[in-house]
Structure 1
Amino acid sequence: MKLKYSMLINIILLITLLFVIYKGGLYYSLLNKLKPKSLAENNFQNTWEYQHNTKLYKFYTKQANIVMLGNSITYRVDWNELLNRNDIANRGIGNDITLGMLNRLDDVYRVNPKVCVVMGGINDILKGIETETIVLNIDTIIKELKTNNIKPIICSILYTSDTQKDYKKLNSLINEVNINLESICLTNDISFINLNESFSDNYTLKSQYSLDGIHLTASGYNQWKKILEPILNQEIEE
């Protein structure tokens, strides 16, 4: 009798344990599904790349006429070499979102530039951050730069290529942000560079400009150079 009772208790305990594990797994599964939208704006600073570069940029104080502010697309090229200049400071950080860029404006002010070229937002979209938030962050960046007598130049978010999962949905969101950014730039009388006019066909990034559907090839950077160079020269001279 005692043996049967003990076996029954063990079975009940086992069922209870399995139920707890199942519920816990379900909880964490739901948490992971919610994480990109609910926590993305709070955890971007936790990456090694973000922490390393933000600390490093505090030591970079050499005056620069131009600052390139953005994510990995900005970070992955030597802008002085590309544009044949010696007065550009690269302040891109891989995986950064627009809130991170806004929080890093002291790195821009530190080098006392005349112009700041801003390009960001793709990581926000990939993390599920609302388009309204992206637009608001970049609008705030524009206002802060102007308050500090720095001319903003805003580049559109590049479309993704058809190698990306759900690329049509992504590009629709990108287009929504870009339309709003262009309107803001018009209102503020600042330059908006619609890179997609040269980089895309049918709202899709051309394959020759990217190997992974997001980041640029050498040809992509050369195309960006051709578009950006005359605008920079004009803004610096004014």
Structure 2
Amino acid sequence: MVLKSPLLLGVSLSLNLLFITVFSVLIIRRGGIPYLVSKLPFHQQIEQTVKIPRRRNTYQSTYHHIRKQMFEQLPNSETEIIFIGDSLTDQGEWAELLGNTNIRNRGISGDTTDGVLNRLDEITASQPQKLFLMIGANDLWNEQKSATEIAQTYRLILEKIQQQTPETQVFIQSLLPMNTIQYPIKVNNSDIIAVNRHLQNLASEFSYTYIDLHQHFTNNQKQLDPLYTVDGVHLNGKGYLNWAKIVNPYVNE
């Protein structure tokens, strides 16, 4: 029996270690052990036979808690114009975009209709002059709610606003389209359109103003125009300039 030379043995061990390292890095990047388990035949069979319940209250996060708590500590004024919504609102520099120092940004990334309803008391406490509302995208994306379910919670939001701050001018902004052709997005634009129909009806019912942003961001493929987005959902600078141009007459009239 011939023994391998120390050099060959060292090379062999090095190659094995390199293979194990590369393999481990790839698995970790894809999700680690849960990813491996998900690829096993028995796991895939279980996924097909067991209905996984939809997630609820996905808005509950450390970031949401911090933002909500901060908003509650900030002083109120009688001249506030409030923008409330999810990440699309959160990421907008509204006071600068619209040249109005009365604007308050009350957007929280990841928020949903349930999240807005949960923190609405802070919004209505100042009896704001105007309130611009856009919410519902994360209900579709993170919680797989139907358009009807979203509209039901939206109605509760509007009822509470009407009861707590009846003199406030309320502007219901449509949901924006998403670009599901160029980006791996799991939301159907037809569902967004269905939500917007409900929002338009609710605006009419409550005598609030409906602002159709959707049509101003859609390209000829019925998708969010790549000119305005960084990832198929969120907006770039041009997107926010376009949004500001549309709502400016309502803000500064």
Output the TM-score relative to the length of structure 2: 0.75
Alignment check: 8 A CA contact 1:66 1:116 kept: yes
Q: Which runs of 5+ in 2 are unaligned?
A: 1-39
How many equivalent residue pairs? 207
Instruction: Give CA deviations for 1:44-67 in whole Å, capped at 9, x if unaligned.
Output: 21x111111111111112314211
Alignment-mate amino acid for residue 72 of structure 1: S
1:101 corresponding residue in structure 2: 116
Higher helix share: 1
Q: Give the secondary structure class of the aligned counterpart of 1:68.
A: strand
Q: How does 1:28-177 map to 2 (within 5 A)?
A: 34-35=52-53, 37=54, 39-41=55-57, 43-45=58-60, 47-63=61-77, 64-127=79-142, 128-147=144-163, 148-149=165-166, 150-161=168-179, 162-165=181-184, 170-177=188-195
- Choose from 199, 209, 212 the match for 1:194: 212
Q: Give the secondary structure class of the aligned counterpart of 1:80.
A: helix
Alignment-mate amino acid for residue 191 of structure 1: T
Alignment-mate amino acid for residue 241 of structure 2: N
Alignment check: 8 A CA contact 1:146 1:152 kept: no
Q: Give the secondary structure class of the aligned counterpart of 1:40.
A: coil
1:210 corresponding residue in structure 2: 229
- Choose from 202, 216, 221 the match for 1:184: 202
1:230 corresponding residue in structure 2: 249
Q: Give the secondary structure class of the aligned counterpart of 1:34.
A: coil
Alignment check: 8 A CA contact 2:147 2:198 kept: no
Alignment check: 8 A CA contact 1:131 1:176 kept: yes
Q: Give the secondary structure class of the aligned counterpart of 2:153.
A: helix
| Whole-angstrom CA distance in 1 between matches of 2:52 and 2:183 | 21
Q: Which runs of 5+ in 1 are unaligned?
A: 1-21
C-alpha RMSD over aligned residues: 2.4
Structure of greater Rg: 2
Deviation at 1:166, TM superposition (A): 5.5
- Stretch of structure 1 that moved more, 208-217 or 130-139: 130-139
